[in-house]
Amino acid sequence: MTNADFERIVDTSDEWIVSRTGIKERRIADEGIASSDLAVAACEKALEASGCSREEIDLLIVGTVTPDYRLPSCACVVQEKMGLPNAAAFDVVAACTGFINGLSIANSYIASGQAKKILVVGVEKLSSIANYKDRNTCVLFGDGAGAAVVAGDDTGRGVLSTFMRSDGNMRELLWIKAGGSMHAFSEEYAASGEDKVLMNGSEVFKVAVKEMGNAARHVMKDAGVDQSDISLVVPHQANIRIIEALARRLKVDLDKVYMNISKYGNTSAASVPIALDEAYREGRIKEGDHIVMVAFGGGLIWGSALVKW
């Protein structure tokens, strides 16, 4: 869906969207395609890239706020569609930090010996929860999925540090009011758009810049890796201005910060793994590189991971 498509449905312009967000296009899944289908496509590629078999996967973690159903988890549906006979499966509801929180959990499971090979997925069909009458939010979101196989070895490479934080006091800055156990779905809520994403963009923006900066610094300090030794920052793709402000805060050159927001918009939990995958396939990540992933989202919630590739 291009900015021109949005010009036809809400009062907006390509100029506003590009200058305020950096977004030019987003991918929108067809009707009848659920988050699990997007996740399966990403998982297939991750398994292929890793050479790992379906039988070897002992845990599947899916970061998403757009599961196929309210019950069961998206992970259980993905497990069935993928055919992972030996895996436990659960969702992580951590909005845009879903992949990073999943990676952090995977790292702990492997370090503690509770699992050996873990599929971590970030997936969203945000088009299912976007309000296409609200120009403040609908132009931002896209659908997508990214996945990684996480496994332990003794090379000294891998996840060096992760960091997770949240502050539920700010939950109403980015939320869906209706449809849960607090406010059951109703026609009234649907008419007011309160069954879809509501966001105070400018307030979220400020916290995002500050806390993503803090989170990125935290993992570098924890792992004892200097900012000058970071090869690439892979940030959540919510807004190009947030990414640029983050780079300034971290004193990292923009050419060391991966950006693909113009093509995908904000894909929430899928954003970091899609960016990581594209960066890798473009040759921007090499063995031994220090990579910082950092994200921020509804909760409010934020987190980071430092990986030696």
Binding site for ligand UT7 (CB under 6 A): 12, 16-17, 20-21, 96, 135-136, 139, 174, 201-202, 204-205, 208, 238-239, 242, 266, 296-297
Q: Residue 210 Cβ, how far from ligand UT7 at the closest point, in Å?
A: 12
Q: CA 293 to CA 216: how far, in whole Å?
A: 8
Q: Residue 205 Cβ, how far from ligand UT7 at the closest point, in Å?
A: 4
Peptide bond into 59 cis (omega under 30): no
Catalytic residue among 76, 260, 266, 290: 266
Quick check: is 239 catalytic?
no
Catalytic residue among 236, 239, 260, 290: 236
Structural contact between residues 144 and 274, judged by C-beta atoms closer than 8 angstroms: yes
Residue nearest to ligand UT7 (CB): 201
Residue whose CB is less far from ligand UT7, 120 or 272? 272
Q: Residue 17 Cβ, how far from ligand UT7 at the closest point, in Å?
A: 6
Residue whose CB is less far from ligand UT7, 96 or 178? 96
Quick check: is 183 catalytic?
no
Q: CA 252 to CA 235: how far, in whole Å?
A: 12
Q: Residue 173 Cβ, how far from ligand UT7 at the closest point, in Å?
A: 9
Q: CA 126 to CA 131: how far, in whole Å?
A: 10
Which residue type sits at 33?
I
Residue whose CB is less far from ligand UT7, 264 or 296? 296
Residue whose CB is less far from ligand UT7, 109 or 175? 175
Q: Residue 172 Cβ, how far from ligand UT7 at the closest point, in Å?
A: 13
Residue whose CB is less far from ligand UT7, 7 or 289? 7
Distance (Å) of CA 52 to CA 44, 61, 116, 119? 10, 16, 11, 10
Quick check: is 214 catalytic?
no
Structural contact between residues 200 and 229, judged by C-beta atoms closer than 8 angstroms: no
On the 0-12 / 13-18 / 19+ scale of CB atoms within 10 A, 189 is middle
Q: State how beta strands 59-63 and 117-125 pair.
A: parallel
Q: CA 157 to CA 285: how far, in whole Å?
A: 13
Q: State how beta strands 174-175 and 198-199 pair.
A: antiparallel
The tokens describing 52, both together, are: 């790992």
Q: Residue 164 Cβ, how far from ligand UT7 at the closest point, in Å?
A: 15
The residues, any chain, with a CB within 8 Å of residue 55's CB and separated by 6 or more, are 85, 86
Distance (Å) of CA 121 to CA 44, 91, 155, 160? 11, 9, 24, 19
Catalytic residue among 96, 107, 131, 260: 96
Residue whose CB is less far from ligand UT7, 78 or 139? 139
Q: Which helix (H) or strand (E) holds 279?
A: helix 271-281
Active site residues: 96, 236, 266
